[in-house]
Amino acid sequence: MRATSLLAPTLREAPAEAEIISHQLLVRAGFIRRVAAGVYNYLPLTMRVLKKIEQIIREEMDAAGGQELLMPIIQPAELWQDSGRWNVYGPELFRLKDRHDRDFALGPTHEEIITSLVKGEVSSYKQLPLLLYQIQNKYRDERRPRFGLLRGREFIMKDLYSFDRDQEGLDVSYMKMYHAYTKIFKRCGLTFRPVEADSGAIGGSDTHEFMVLADSGEAAVLFCGNEDCEYAANVEKAAQVFKNEKEKEELKPLSVKETPNMRTVEQVSTFLNIKPQKIIKTILYENEHGVVAALVRGDREVNEIKLLNALGCLRLDLAGENTVKKATGAAVGFAGPVGLKGIKIIADLEVAALVNAVAGANKGDAHIINVNPGRDFTIDLLTDIRMVQAGEPCPSCGSELKEARGIEVGQVFKLGDKYSKILGATYSDENGTSKTIIMGCYGIGVTRTMAAAVEQNHDQDGIIWPASIAPFHTVIIPVNTRDSSQVDLAEEIYGRLWSGGVETVLDDRAERAGVKFKDADLIGYPLRITIGSKAVAEKQVEVRVRKTGEMYLVPLDQVESVVRELLGKL
Amino acid sequence: MRATSLLAPTLREAPAEAEIISHQLLVRAGFIRRVAAGVYNYLPLTMRVLKKIEQIIREEMDAAGGQELLMPIIQPAELWQDSGRWNVYGPELFRLKDRHDRDFALGPTHEEIITSLVKGEVSSYKQLPLLLYQIQNKYRDERRPRFGLLRGREFIMKDLYSFDRDQEGLDVSYMKMYHAYTKIFKRCGLTFRPVEADSGAIGGSDTHEFMVLADSGEAAVLFCGNEDCEYAANVEKAAQVFKNEKEKEELKPLSVKETPNMRTVEQVSTFLNIKPQKIIKTILYENEHGVVAALVRGDREVNEIKLLNALGCLRLDLAGENTVKKATGAAVGFAGPVGLKGIKIIADLEVAALVNAVAGANKGDAHIINVNPGRDFTIDLLTDIRMVQAGEPCPSCGSELKEARGIEVGQVFKLGDKYSKILGATYSDENGTSKTIIMGCYGIGVTRTMAAAVEQNHDQDGIIWPASIAPFHTVIIPVNTRDSSQVDLAEEIYGRLWSGGVETVLDDRAERAGVKFKDADLIGYPLRITIGSKAVAEKQVEVRVRKTGEMYLVPLDQVESVVRELLGKL
């Protein structure tokens, strides 16, 4: 490709709306242009990246036995009504009516459509397992679309659905996908971790998220510091290692202390001169059943996902000031479990092990000391409801956990019979007995993976594409386009590289070399070949590695082999 | 691919709604399944066909200098309001609102978006010409979606837009696309014709439609019977060859004849014993300006597209009974140009050449004879407004025109400055003068091409895919899957063909051979390899060509070369 016929308009400044680096760089380097909030034009450079990612995905899906199909983007409401999601999905679902006033949705996901398809076409155990996937635009009407390709309203996803006879079959399909995903992100040249994630309140099924590690990642990941241990989990999922060791202290009598205006753990611990871990933090929540009190140790944070799952409720919100006042008789900051009436108390495991702890007195400006669970209040539900932190032991091997930040680019999920049961997708087994098909779903955000690659691979000058998903492998820059000997040499190498399968851009624009160098760094070609007067005279060109800045002086007849060798390492 | 792991569910019966053969066969052979009216699931076999068509398109677009990008499906209303099409487009445009109540459309086409993109990114003549294309779902809310993939509401299109400095540049881009399209449909193995088509009332720009010839085609095409002449036109566009030869007859005086209940040309011509070509057929239309009378010879039909263009109006409808009565004073069937007041008369060229003709008397049950244009009434506009028929002379070479039916699968169109002017897409020329960019647009219906291929290539047993777009090249059928020697031989050939690049399905289902043969014919694999006990014993297999029914007995060691040779011809 010649730069003069490539639409890759670079910009010096990123648009004000671009808050994160991938958004800024993808706009500045001429990969994307905004059409509406969360809706983008993908320019030619983006297409090349997306096609490479898609090709890697296709190869691994096919290798794992997947069959590609394509389902509609406009989905009739009836199927969503049958599954019950038409009403549940809320404003994130783009909805429209056709000319005959029939309701449709723009698909954010395709469980309904594919389950309905399989219901119609699969009748026998002989047709299972079945792995069906598509790569396609998806739609989600985000309240606040931002972050460029990381959180758009229109984005490209690969979604595969597995159909099995039973749970064991699902386990096999799940692991196939798990391994395929591992290969995909490895082949994309990304540093990532599959992490255990929460599967939501309904069902206790397995799910893993595939996280591309990047400091800017929106999610916290905990992983085992022991290299031989594979444990890694989303911070919302990570389980605490609880050793049930009660402090050996004599129980002392309850007593109320004045704590004027001392509301936070820090204030109370300083004021009373006790460690935060001696404090019982009491936080009130509201769900569809009423108000609950969640207790964790003062040095811990409530994990609301764990809490939600433990309570088995559908929603969970922090209780407002008025609710707290009504429930405890005191302002926010002074709630405690002692004497709390008509409110369910759910406590973290560690709380039950406390002796002579401090808690709010349910009275303004007061705390109670020498609180002892069991003696002074009853725990209705005792379980793990707290956040785990880096430094705690790994639940798998006991080594120390470390923390990283990640961007979720893929998820594998065991659906079980959630959709097949409700939509009636069954098969006959060997004995002619009708059974419900067991499903899994497996997504990869294709445009998201591209953005995550940029978040992980960039420097102050621009993007640093992994070679396997770079829009082009190499750019050739003739320093002076008015010097025909430089241009001729550039053309010759350009022709040789292309015919050798190295995707190359010849920057034939009549621009200063400095401008071209800047653009090359910004766009992020893995290699840059500079052809100046010295190259012509000494018959060797300068090859520069974008990632490391290493420079090589390469004799003309070795350019192809050196380029290929360098690319093999990037 | 093994048939046991391929989702290609064949059916004996087509659904009742399937009116045409491609719809019936694509459903029966397991290529598509309906989700809603005009909305389909594309099953794995379809994906393979579509990818091949898309790949051919991509290669030819790229070879012609096209750059692939991808624009959004959801398009903000503002751009459509700017271009004026938001209100004009009517109910065919799917519209929706986002959660913030902003209007969007599902793109039926992308002139607005791409013109806006180019406006923002192109400023200099140095950036032109520019050819940008995408392959993507398009949306059109048809009043009556039917015909399967031929007229869906969601369908796949390739659309390319060209941007040039001037008309000469556009001519070059247009011919590039014209030639690329010719290559594409040739490579798809289709019999087709590029035909001149009508470009609509606004502007007199060139346009060609690419028609796949098929008896079931919805459009009539006229083409020159002389093989050395390339003339071909959509029947709406075909120009008449008019020789201005007035009959040498003396003008006779007007006279009214009773023609009780004689309304049609046929009735009047029989009743008055005159040839139809002596009758002036008068048809009243209404447009936004009022009522017009269109005159053609009795043996001709009005071409409403030509009429609309000649009148330069936006809409044209046949006048209703009441309008006819009010305008002519008589019932439908007795209108004529003589004495018609306050109505514009537009006549076909041939009408002016008539002498002593017959016309309606604008009075019930009466016609006038010896009507002479010029003497008895005034023609306000004389031009070609009639349909041309097979048998008439070719406008290019004078040979006889022939007629065929075709399915439009592509169109190339000179837009000129229609969108660039209204949306302000300009560039600076060498002198710094700002000029409007000149555009063209070029579409190919990808799913439509697939359906058209089936319309053109099928027999009573099923589809006959051209090899270049067939989902697979070959199917191997072991006659008895319980005979391990047959199965082993089938497996061996299967492995050899795949590793030799021949896309092969091994029909390993535990079905009777007859069922497999029927499915193979229905799905339309170009070649079928049958492996029975004789094949094992005599070390030769039967290779059958789907298209011709030819059978070859091929020694085992020659299977690959024979298959490849046969495919090369299909």
pLDDT, tens digit, 9 for 90 and up, residues A122-173: 999 999 999 999 999 999 999 888 899 999 999 999 999 999 999 999 999 9
- The shortest C-alpha distance from A105 to chain B (Å) reads 10
The β-bridge partners of B436 are B426
Q: In angstroms, what CA-CA distances link A504 with A477, A490, A500, A564? A: 11, 11, 10, 12
Asked if B9's CB is within 8 angstroms of A117's CB, the reply is no
Token output for A131: 């792995």
pLDDT value of residue B246: 80
C-beta of residue B471 within 8 angstroms of C-beta of residue A69: no
Give me the pLDDT at residue B315, please.
Answer: 87
Shortest distance between the Cα of A333 and any Cα of chain B, in A, equals 37
What are the Cα distances from residue A209, in Å, to A156, A192, A232, A233, A440? 18, 10, 10, 8, 14
Quote the tokens at residue B29.
């052979």
> Alpha helix locations (H) across A273-347?
304-311, 321-328
Measured in whole angstroms, how far is the alpha carbon of residue B282 from the centre of its chain? 31
Query: How far apart are the C-alpha atoms of B164 and A430, rounded to whole Å?
Result: 66
Q: Does A16 touch chain B (CB under 8 A)?
A: no
pLDDT tier at A315, thresholds 50, 70, 90: confident
Q: Shortest CB distance from A36 goes to which of B76, B96, B154?
A: B76
Answer whether B68 sits within 8 Å of A91, measured CB to CB.
no
Q: Assess B6–A contact: CB distance below 8 Å, yes or no.
A: yes
In this predicted structure, what is the pLDDT of residue B200? 66
Contact indicator for B279, B336 with CB cutoff of 8 Å: no
Q: Is B478:B507 a contact under the CB 8 Å cutoff?
A: yes
Of B257, B314, B255, B261, residue with least CA distance to B285:
B314
User: Cα dist. B413→A267, B192, B217 in Å?
Assistant: 75, 18, 21
Question: Among A44, A121, A126, whose Cβ lies nearest the Cβ of B69?
Answer: A44
Any residues with CB less than 8 A from the CB of B44 and at least 6 apart, and which?
A: A67, A68, A69, A132, B6, B7, B8, B471
Residues in B closer than 8 angstroms to A40, CB to CB, are 72
How many residues make up chain B in this entry? 570
Q: Measure the CA–CA gap between B317 and B13, rounded to whole angstroms.
A: 41
User: Which alpha helices (H) appear in B84-135, and where do they start and end?
Assistant: 85-88, 111-121
CB of B180 closer than 8 Å to CB of B450 = no
What is residue A181's three-state secondary structure? helix
Contact flag B35-A113 (C-beta cutoff 8 Å) = yes
- Residue A88 neighbours by CB distance under 10 Å: 10
Q: Is the dihedral of CA B363, B364, B370, B374 positive or negative?
A: positive
Contacts 24+ apart (CB under 8 A), A8-14: A8/A43, A8/A44, A8/A45, A8/A523, A9/A43, A9/B121, A10/A518, A10/A519, A10/A522, A10/A523
Distance CA B228, CA B398 (A): 12
User: What does the pLDDT look like over A447-502, one tens digit per residue?
Assistant: 999 999 999 999 999 999 999 999 999 999 999 999 999 999 999 999 999 999 99
Region A19-35 average pLDDT: 97
Interchain proximity A72–B143, CB inside 8 Å: no
Q: Hey, is A88 helix, strand or coil?
A: helix
A96 CB neighbours in chain B (<8 A) are 94-96, 106
Residue A130 to residues A64, A114, A164, A485, B32, Cα–Cα distance (Å) = 11, 11, 7, 60, 17
Report pLDDT for A200.
66
Report the C-alpha gap between A232 and A221 in whole angstroms.
7
Q: Is the peptide bond before B526 cis (omega within 30 degrees of 0)?
A: no
Question: How far is residue B427's CA from residue B164's CA, in Å, rounded to a whole number?
Answer: 10
CA pair distance A431, A350, nearest whole angstrom: 51
Q: Contact B72/A36, CB-based, under 8 Å?
A: yes
Helix (H, G, I), strand (E, B) or coil at B280: strand
Q: What is the chain A residue with the closest CA to B124?
A: A4
Chain A: residue nearest B153 by CA? A74
Measure in Å the smallest separation between the Cα of B441 and chain A Cα atoms: 18
- The answer to whether residue A313 scores a pLDDT higher than 90 is no
Among B2, B10, B52, B69, pick the best mutation site for testing chain A contact (most A Cβ within 10 A).
Answer: B69
Beta A130-139 vs A67-68: how paired, if at all? parallel
pLDDT digits 0-9 by tens, A373-415: 999 999 999 999 999 999 999 999 999 999 999 999 999 999 9
**Residue segments in chain B with a per-residue pLDDT below the cut of 70:** 200-205
Structure confidence by residue, pLDDT tens digits, A327-346: 999 989 999 999 998 899 99
C-alpha distances (whole Å) from B387 to each of A27, B225, B350, B407 are 53, 18, 12, 19
Residue of B nearest to A510 (CA): B126
Which of A41, A73, A143 is facing B69, going by the closest CB pair? Answer: A41
Query: Rounded to the nearest 5°, which phi and psi values hold at A42?
Result: -95, 110
Task: Confirm if B28 and B11 have CB atoms less than 8 A apart.
Answer: yes
What domains are there in chain B, each with its CATH number? 15-239+402-454 (3.30.930.10), 255-383 (3.90.960.10), 472-569 (3.40.50.800)
Find out whether A247 and A355 touch, Cβ atoms under 8 Å.
Answer: yes
CA distance A72 to chain B (A): 6
Give CA separation, B538 vs B479, B554, B555, B563, in Å: 15, 10, 8, 19
Which burial class, exposed, middle or buried, applies to A509 when counting CB atoms under 10 A from its CB (0-12, 13-18, 19+)? middle
Among the partner residues B67, B70, B120, nearest to A6 by beta-carbon distance: B67
* pLDDT for res B199: 76
Give the alpha-carbon dihedral of B234, B239, B241, B246, to 10 degrees.
130
Report helix angle A44-63 to A446-456, nearest 10.
110
Tokens standing for residue A200: 């939501």
Neighbours of B115 (CB within 10 A): 26
CA-based nearest residue in chain B for residue A143: B99
Q: Name the residue among A7, A47, A76 with its Cβ closest to that of B36.
A: A76
Contact A283, A318 (CB under 8 A): yes
Mean pLDDT value across chain A: 95
Q: Which residues contact B474 (CB under 8 A, 6 or more apart)?
A: B497, B502, B503, B504, B505, B525, B526, B527, B528, B529, B563, B567
User: Taking the CA of residue B430 as centre, how many other CA atoms within 13 Å lie in the half-sphere pointing to its CB?
Assistant: 0
Phi-psi group of A418: left, alpha or beta (phi > 0 → left; psi -120 to 50 → alpha; rest → beta):
alpha
Among B415, B192, B370, B145, smallest CA distance to B278 is for: B370
Nearest CA in chain A to B33: A117
